[in-house]
Chains A and B, each alone.
Chain A
């Protein structure tokens, strides 16, 4: 276990930003910290980065409290920014040195990373001369220039054009191959769900869903099937309701029935199936459902 969070609580005056949150991140994992804006993601990360102190609970990274783990942790904050008047290479070297890297090692590593993101020719130019996309790439590599074991990326795709989104995704994949642990926070759940092994979904500072993404998806498996066919019999086994919709049918499954069984049933009945589709459930919808469920349980709705 690389990161261990136990009963973390953080308040700002009367507002509880993080409310008794517990989770763990394993070695080499790509962990998604997801939730809408204001859910407490950035606060949680800032506590892990030793920028804020929790009111209760604790975080350990590599078994150390945050102030001791700084050397091994990288951070891409949601609010981006670099020294505009500093040279590109000097920026990376300075940030690596602040993490405790020696000047020589920092220099070598910075040069390597600049090559990696095709900025080597800009090494001796000032940051403000770079285009927006170049600055974003520079900012991204700045978060792991000191070769950390754990990397926190807060909204890494915010403000990126599609091309740079792909580049950043590639870099994240590369980091994983190197065995680094990555915690990725985002409110754009659909954009990051494909990347993550496990996720923690939070809302109002509290855990909503937590676990392997595949398992969560299974748990919230769809109960709707879309079938395109000339016509359907009025009653079907395992189907509670049939709705006609623009030349196709939306079938609401009865409780406990399986989409594959329904398909076999349709074939057995000799229905001329043109298409059969189990509607994928986006993470966002799962989130909404889970929040509703929780609110109903606590009587908050």
Chain B
């Protein structure tokens, strides 16, 4: 490998693409949208709040005025502090009419046997969406508890009955040490690596997009033949990955920095606070997985993408690998419940899912060292393989014009190497 040539290619790809209109527009779109949103918020803050309220009402009917038909006698009259949100109706018919007329968003019919059974009929218009919202609504719950217990128990007990527990978390590592305290630190320690994993997926998408475009253009203009007669395909591939990887990183960095500065530095502070709370070991490993992951994905995408004859076709082919990178997000539910769940461990040893999987797992809990060593080994072993395969496909792919090769042809290419 001639590293000077790799550098020449990387520099060329970066400088040419960074000046592209497409790149500038795509890079500027996030800050511009952010500024627009801020302007909009400043100009129409009143309207925006109203808009916000009406949207909220749409999704949470219990946020509006609620009609009550009380047959149990426990809820009439309505306590003064609830009178503006709850309205008594004498009969079900009256209450239903009020729902139909949209005087109230929904109505609660409390039966005579309420104390024994707890049954409440929720009347709503349109979908049954409202009934589900009611059972989860803290304000409705408070309305019931306050009416049932007011004057019968100490106010403090009444308050606890509404909200019996407020969770504070303390996670112990296997050695018994406190890892972190409070929900905030959990959010912090999780958020930064979580976004790093998303960052990786984003950089891969963005960079591979530019990579495929750059190869497709060279193929279309046929200059590729001059290029591959001057440098080895592996040098061309490496140079492109380095240059366009840097380009993708530039774009994502601009996005992140613009979001950080537009949010008044809040996001940046959050990130710094988060980073300071994360153990150095985790942070180091996150960076290792980021770099290894990028090399692996970019190499495979370059090799496979180059087989396409148009940018679009290449993107479809390369999309296969993005799917693998995103796979860990699909099992996120399991991982939250238990970061060392079997599926998470299995995916950590599979090179194509290892980088994102480990980036998500690391901050959540103490990951067994076998998994760390195993996943890094899997990546280190598969990267030379990917480079070999990528370079092989690349070498032949750059000369394929007009027709996409069949799977059988691709196999022949890989086997024979030319």
Q: Are the CB atoms of B230 and A70 closer together than 8 Å? A: yes
Q: Which of the 9-residue segments A73-81, A160-168, A251-259 touches chain B?
A: A73-81
Using C-beta atoms within 8 Å of the partner chain, give the interface range for chain B.
20 to 34
Contacts of B4 in A (CB 8 A): 100
Q: Are the CB atoms of A79 and B8 closer together than 8 Å? A: no
Contacts of A46 in B (CB 8 A): 225
Instruction: Count A/B pairs, Cβ under 8 Å.
Output: 61
**Binary interface profile of B, 291-314, with partner A (CB < 8 Å = 1, else 0)?**
000000000000000000000000
CB closest chain-B residue, reference A102: B4
Q: How far in angstroms is the closest Cβ of chain B from A33?
A: 16
Q: Are the CB atoms of A75 and B418 closer together than 8 Å? A: no
| Cα(A84)–Cα(B218), bound, Å | 10
Check A99/B230 contact, CB under 8 A, given A52-B418, A94-B8, A94-B12: yes
B5 adjacent to chain A (CB < 8 Å): yes
Check A80/B16 contact, CB under 8 A, given A94-B8, A98-B8: no
| Cα(A100)–Cα(B5), bound, Å | 7
**Binary interface profile of B, 13-31, with partner A (CB < 8 Å = 1, else 0)?**
0001000000000000000
Using C-beta atoms within 8 Å of the partner chain, give the interface range for chain A.
20 to 34
A51 adjacent to chain B (CB < 8 Å): yes
CB closest chain-A residue, reference B399: A51
Contact of B229 among A50, A79, A84, A100 (CB under 8 A): A50
CB closest chain-A residue, reference B229: A49
Q: Are the CB atoms of B229 and A51 closer together than 8 Å? A: yes
A293 adjacent to chain B (CB < 8 Å): no
Interface residues of A in 134-185 (CB under 8 A from B): 142-143
| Cα(A77)–Cα(B226), bound, Å | 7
Contacts of A98 in B (CB 8 A): 5, 8-9, 227, 230-231
Interface residues of A in 70-126 (CB under 8 A from B): 70, 73, 75, 77, 79-86, 94-95, 97-100
Q: Are the CB atoms of A75 and B8 closer together than 8 Å? A: no
Interface residues of B in 1-53 (CB under 8 A from A): 2, 4-5, 8-9, 12, 16
A53 adjacent to chain B (CB < 8 Å): yes
User: Which residues of A line the B interface, CB within 8 A?
Assistant: 46, 49-53, 67, 70, 73, 75, 77, 79-86, 94-95, 97-100, 142-143
* 6 cross-chain pairs, A with B, having the tightest CB-CB distances, nearest first: A81-B222, A81-B221, A49-B229, A53-B418, A98-B230, A79-B222
Question: Can you give 15 contacting A-B residue pairs, CB < 8 Å?
Answer: A49-B228, A50-B232, A52-B399, A77-B222, A82-B221, A83-B16, A83-B221, A94-B8, A97-B8, A98-B8, A98-B9, A98-B227, A98-B231, A100-B4, A143-B226
